[in-house]
Structure 1
Amino acid sequence: MSSLLILGAADGAVPTYQCASKMGYRTVCVDINAGAPGVPYADEFLHVSTRAPELVATALAGRDDIVGVLAPASDIALPTQRQLALHFGLPDPVSASAVAASADKWEFRQVCDRLGFPSYRTVAGSPGGELVRAARGLRFPVLVKPVDSTGSRGVVPCGVPGSLAAAIRDAVTFSPANRLVVEEFVDGTHLTVEALVRAGRPVFHTVSARTLTPPPYFITATQTVPADLPDGVEARLAEMLATLVAELGYASGPLNLDAVLGHDGELYLVEMGARSGGNGMAELVEASYGVDLLAATVSLAVGDPVTVVPRPPRPVMLWVLAADRPGRLAAVHGLAEVRAMPEVLDVRLFAAPGDQVKPYDQAANKVGYVILAADTPAALRTAATTVTRSLSVELMAP
């Protein structure tokens, strides 16, 4: 039986395991965390870091059943994905340029500047006086980010120059490379772009509008597909995607980007990943457009042909369920009522009663999410309000 190697088992990877199994592939999971949400969905588990391609290759030595490798919702695993694709002789390894732009936020900023995309001032470096001095010249507020983290881990907002040293100290603990990027905060509408690339060209993309949690974390609270964009933005985005893919030499696979439509009308690309997005993006796309991006991604990974035929989009939304403080989960109230709503397509929970949960300060710490769909944006918003009023997280007494 053919096996698909999947790097990472965070909640954002779970749909990929389910999709691959449905398509008839045996799944091999690689993760350093044996308790990660995706592990139970895999046919085989390798207790190895996704940053250690040589250990993965050693564990799979002599195997001839590996037909593809993916790193869903994980930028940090993309270098390993590329190395293992080359090691096993798999189709269309992610280009070195696409890996670099995905795994290093500073490298992506350099790509955007080189292509003449709308930009904002950014500095990068290791912690120390030189980085602080360079960052003081930026327009505040700024965001201090590890160049190599994912899922909003280690992103620290900084409102004034006097707080830079503390922000840098907090952020760098999340950077294996001990490097940071400090960037001017761009205010506007926060967007996620989910695309599919085939034969070096984007063949599908959609945009979701994100609402974020309040400072200091700025984590996704809801995502709505399709985003309601002003005239001309879609055409600009399509041109930017084609230019970016060509510059990176990205042959085939998924592409995920964070972007901001600024109050100045400019479209700013913020970060990219040459991989599928988390936070239920594939489910949103399928519910809205009828396009199974995960099945297409798996097919491209194993070298099979892919055809994408989207239907006119239907308004859909992802609503995140989270705890406001650490503790052990006692119950999630309102589940029966929410599941009975005609607008609710799916409810996914990543914690069970008795599990330790964390506050929602990074994307991996969600308790679950709800996928909703409606015939109109107004009806979708009304349904989301009902979900907000109905669902609540109860923690056990200390």
Structure 2
Amino acid sequence: MPCPETPSAPAAHTDTASQYHQQSAPGESRPPVLILGGSPLQVPMIQAARRLGMRTLVVDANPDVPGAALADEFAAVSTTDVEGLLALTRDRELAGVTSVGTDRPVRAIAAVAQAHGLPAVSPETAAACTDKALMLQAVARAGVPHPRFALATDLDELRAAVAQVGLPCIVKPLDSSGSRGVVQVDTEADLPRALKYALEPSHEPTVIVEELLVGREISCEVLCVDGVYHVIATTDKDTTGSPHFIETGHTQPADLDEETLAAAHALVAQCLAAVDMHFGPAHVEMMLTENGPVLIEFGSRMAGDFVSSHVVPGSTGIDFIGLVLRQACGEQIEVPPHSGRAAAIRFLTAPEGVLRAFHGEEAARAVPGVDAVITLAEPGEAITPLHSSTDRLGVVVASGPDRAAAVAACERARSLIRIEVGRAPSSAAAEPAPAEGSLPARGRRVLVIGAGRGQLGLIRAIKRLGATAVVASLTAGPPPGLKEADEAIDVDLLDPDAVAREARLAGVDAVATSCLDTGLEALGAVVDELGLRGLTRAAARLCMDKLAMKRRLVEHGVPTAPFREVSSPEELDAALEAVGLPAMVKAADLQGSAGVFKVTSPAQARAAFDRAQSLSRHGTVIVERFLNGTEFGAQALVHDGEILHVTVHGDDLAADAPIPIGHHVPLPDGLLASQAREVTNAAVVALGLDNCAVNIDLMACDGQVYVIELTGRAGANGLPELMSAVHGLDYYELVAREALDLDVPGAWVRREPWPGAALAMMLTDPDAHGTVVDVAVPADLPEWAVDLTLFRGPGDRLDGFTSSNDCLGQLVVRGQDLSQCRQRAAALAAQVSFNLQEA
């Protein structure tokens, strides 16, 4: 990113005369305000000082920062070089000393202010606000809610600290900001890498290990005046989540009830009093947990990310930076009343590569409500993975009468900006080769279609292989995969051509998905357009359109239930006469059990038709004969035209709807399983599925196995985890390897099959209606429990069970036989309970 301050060399007494310039008239005698830093974050403060009639002396180790050209005087001195700053200002008067948006100069501000008799926090307070260990120790003594923490200087101490704090946890430097060096650790195997990552941006040899707080993150923007803490604004924060928690957007005011807001403001006062801070700006970050607000960290400075300079004025009407400048120069100030408006900021990011150009900036600026569009990078610059706030490429800021208007304007403007990215020159030849068998996908980029819960296992598998996981999804919500992925592309998966364009710009080397039909044609478009390995667009279309699929199955002689295409009530009557009652009514283009209805009368059929037609995008409905038999299914993987495996599984259906809520292996009927494998092979050939996982729904009726439908991706609702349990491998990794063409047959040969039975069960509750307050889960899982994952948590709304999207979670167990598996699954499910607040 442009113009970051370059850390100065240890020689703090460098002669700065040759690095000093003065733009004002020689006779000017007013003392300047010393502003530490000249990066884009400090530019608004320099401009505000000029607006207030103040002279500015700006210092930064990097003489090319934009603030250098705007300052009345500039000196190339590091903002952390206390001796150099004191030498620069020793023989002159200063009006004040301050900065904005970074912790780096806070100690220097305190030291210079003390030397010149200027108002500022004390050096002791500055130290406590810039050393996370001192900070947490101070709030712990004061009884302020805070995360568990421990310190470490080497790997052995880190292991001991993690044992004390618990996994998962956060490892971070003591003295950095902007998410630099911050990483989530999930397993002990991640510790060596986490230690190195946290120490790299730090000047201290020690890292801090913190408890991973779960909840909603907010911050408070504070100004201390005459010992009174004024919370000027409270901010909702959007972040990338694990592993680096980079902030991607902010919205003011935070969407909080009065009680929560009061608790957050009380925490602010407790934190700042704990470090004896009673003057100047503060930025306090906290997590709203189920037990109330808990401190994350705070700083004795204004927030960065253009929050103080743009978002706060937009939402409150208060010139925050102007107040801080005036206070730093000794003026008596009063905090004016809040305007009652709202503001939002969203950051611009792009895939790794080389920045070619920004497109659409002027159109974005023209959106009503947009206050600023700022780019932070220049064409030709390398775009690195999003590991800290400095890796972002720009910002969009908007304001409005309320949150909805501000956010809508911000998102609209961001959607108009396209960032053109070229491929970075390959450096693979210069990199050391990985150890045998480790990180086989190192340096490669995999596009994951979708970012829902069904993609989480795939994203994690891709990262374990050493590849970069880039998710394609609409990011509103946001879907959970955004927190796991390395990068994200905000795109509508129902626009395959747009996804293919974005994939080309992102420079991906492979594309994959799991548990999701919605973006299957987009996956095929990427495969075709970029010449990648996987499902073709033509095959994907067949998978996504039940009507076209059934036609193709019939053409190839694959048994499927007799059906009729229906698009009007008149055609419905004829279809019912042809297939008989009971019947199945299905929207032709929806996935899973959505839009699927069993009907036993013409009246039910008419209602189901109306509902299915309203849910369908193109309005086509299928009416097919109800097969009164046993529903089951199979998972398969096709590799270079050969079916590597067909694993037949039994299905457990919901009591009142044809919705699978469980799967098990093996299928007790060996003959039926054999017939299912034959039908699966024929269906795969009929649809032209290759180099992909396959999920197929089957029905056994009157001695015949029928295909209900199939699709070119792994099944949902615990099926990948069930396949992992059955075959003794990571099935998500097998799917990722197929997309990357990483010796899939070899990985399959190395599997360790489970000799007994396995069962996946979805957690459901048809009677659950209300908002989740908390969830009780077992503290430890027995060795036979392969997986226990919850999809819903505190704050989520539950409204019964009508489709697989309403599942509350899943569990997978193994046992000697199915009877034991069912007993174990029931026992484990009984230990999970959702406490609801009724509507």
Of 148, 152, 156, the residue aligned with 2:179 is 152
Does 1:172 pair with 2:188? no
Between stretches 272-281 and 209-218, larger displacement belongs to 209-218
- The separation in 2 between residues aligned to 1:38 and 1:215, in whole angstroms, is 34
Contact 1:204 1:308 in 2 (8 A): no
Superposed displacement of residue 69, structure 1: 0.6
- The separation in 2 between residues aligned to 1:86 and 1:269, in whole angstroms, is 29
Change (3 A) 1:116 1:274: same
Superposed displacement of residue 94, structure 1: 1.0
Q: Which amino acid aligns with 1:375?
A: P
**Paired position in structure 1 for 2:346:** 319
Superposed displacement of residue 214, structure 1: 4.5
Q: Which amino acid aligns with 1:387?
A: A
Instruction: Output the TM-score relative to the length of structure 2.
Output: 0.45
Change (3 A) 1:361 1:199: same
Q: Which amino acid aligns with 2:361?
A: L
**Paired position in structure 1 for 2:403:** 377
Superposed displacement of residue 97, structure 1: 3.6
Superposed displacement of residue 243, structure 1: 3.0
Report Cα offsets for 1:350-375 as digits up to 9, x if no partner. 23334455443211232221111123
Report Cα offsets for 1:118-138 as digits up to 9, x if no partner. 222111131231232121232
- The separation in 2 between residues aligned to 1:284 and 1:123, in whole angstroms, is 35
Of 134, 141, 158, the residue aligned with 2:168 is 141
Report Cα offsets for 1:208-245 as digits up to 9, x if no partner. 10111253221111100000113312222232323333
* Ranges in structure 2 where 5+ consecutive residues have no aligned partner: 1-29, 425-839
Q: Which amino acid aligns with 2:412?
A: T
SS at match of 2:95: strand
Change (3 A) 1:61 1:379: closer
Contact 1:140 1:160 in 2 (8 A): yes
Of 213, 225, 232, the residue aligned with 1:186 is 213
Between stretches 22-31 and 79-88, larger displacement belongs to 22-31
Contact 1:200 1:249 in 2 (8 A): no
- The separation in 2 between residues aligned to 1:135 and 1:204, in whole angstroms, is 35
- The separation in 1 between residues aligned to 2:231 and 2:160, in whole angstroms, is 43
**Paired position in structure 2 for 1:163:** 190
Contact 2:34 2:98 in 1 (8 A): yes
Does 1:85 pair with 2:113? yes
**Paired position in structure 1 for 2:260:** 233
**Paired position in structure 2 for 1:105:** 132
Change (3 A) 1:346 1:385: closer
Report Cα offsets for 1:25-54 as digits up to 9, x if no partner. 222222112233433332222212222111
Change (3 A) 1:173 1:353: closer
Change (3 A) 1:356 1:20: farther
SS at match of 1:235: helix
| Number of residue pairs the alignment of both structures matches | 394
- The separation in 1 between residues aligned to 2:219 and 2:269, in whole angstroms, is 17
**Paired position in structure 1 for 2:327:** 300
Change (3 A) 1:37 1:367: farther
Does 1:279 pair with 2:305? yes
Contact 2:353 2:422 in 1 (8 A): no
Superposed displacement of residue 203, structure 1: 2.7
Contact 1:132 1:165 in 2 (8 A): no
Superposition CA RMSD, Å: 1.9
* Ranges in structure 1 where 5+ consecutive residues have no aligned partner: none
- The separation in 2 between residues aligned to 1:325 and 1:150, in whole angstroms, is 22
Change (3 A) 1:325 1:397: closer
Q: Which amino acid aligns with 1:8?
A: G
Q: Which amino acid aligns with 1:291?
A: I
Identity, % of aligned positions: 30
Between stretches 188-197 and 370-379, larger displacement belongs to 370-379
Contact 1:322 1:359 in 2 (8 A): no
Of 46, 50, 55, the residue aligned with 2:75 is 46
- The separation in 1 between residues aligned to 2:350 and 2:33, in whole angstroms, is 34
- The separation in 2 between residues aligned to 1:23 and 1:208, in whole angstroms, is 27
Change (3 A) 1:363 1:40: farther
**Paired position in structure 1 for 2:296:** 270
Of 309, 331, 335, the residue aligned with 2:361 is 335
SS at match of 1:38: helix
Report Cα offsets for 1:161-190 as digits up to 9, x if no partner. 232122112211221111110111112111
Superposed displacement of residue 387, structure 1: 2.5
| Higher RCO, Cα 8 Å, sep 6+ | 1
Change (3 A) 1:119 1:225: same
Superposed displacement of residue 320, structure 1: 0.7
SS at match of 1:232: helix
Contact 1:343 1:372 in 2 (8 A): yes
- The separation in 1 between residues aligned to 2:65 and 2:156, in whole angstroms, is 38
- The separation in 1 between residues aligned to 2:70 and 2:231, in whole angstroms, is 28
- For the pair shown, the structure with the greater C-alpha radius of gyration is 2
Does 1:291 pair with 2:318? yes
- The separation in 1 between residues aligned to 2:422 and 2:67, in whole angstroms, is 25
Q: Which amino acid aligns with 1:208?
A: T
- The separation in 2 between residues aligned to 1:161 and 1:53, in whole angstroms, is 39
Change (3 A) 1:60 1:319: same
- The separation in 1 between residues aligned to 2:218 and 2:210, in whole angstroms, is 18
- The separation in 1 between residues aligned to 2:396 and 2:378, in whole angstroms, is 16
Report Cα offsets for 1:252-309 as digits up to 9, x if no partner. 21011111112x1410111111011111112211111111110110011010011112
Query: What does residue range 12-91 of structure 1 map to in structure 2 within 5 Å?
Result: 12-64=41-93, 66-90=94-118
- The separation in 1 between residues aligned to 2:250 and 2:408, in whole angstroms, is 15
Between stretches 211-220 and 338-347, larger displacement belongs to 211-220
Contact 2:220 2:231 in 1 (8 A): no
Q: Which amino acid aligns with 2:401?
A: D
SS at match of 1:11: coil
Change (3 A) 1:227 1:30: same
Of 415, 430, 441, the residue aligned with 1:389 is 415
Between stretches 67-76 and 359-368, larger displacement belongs to 359-368
Between stretches 113-122 and 149-158, larger displacement belongs to 113-122
Between stretches 372-381 and 19-28, larger displacement belongs to 372-381
- The separation in 2 between residues aligned to 1:81 and 1:35, in whole angstroms, is 22
Of 330, 346, 350, the residue aligned with 2:372 is 346
Superposed displacement of residue 83, structure 1: 0.7
SS at match of 2:408: helix
- The separation in 2 between residues aligned to 1:27 and 1:359, in whole angstroms, is 35
- The separation in 1 between residues aligned to 2:376 and 2:169, in whole angstroms, is 32
**Paired position in structure 2 for 1:200:** 227
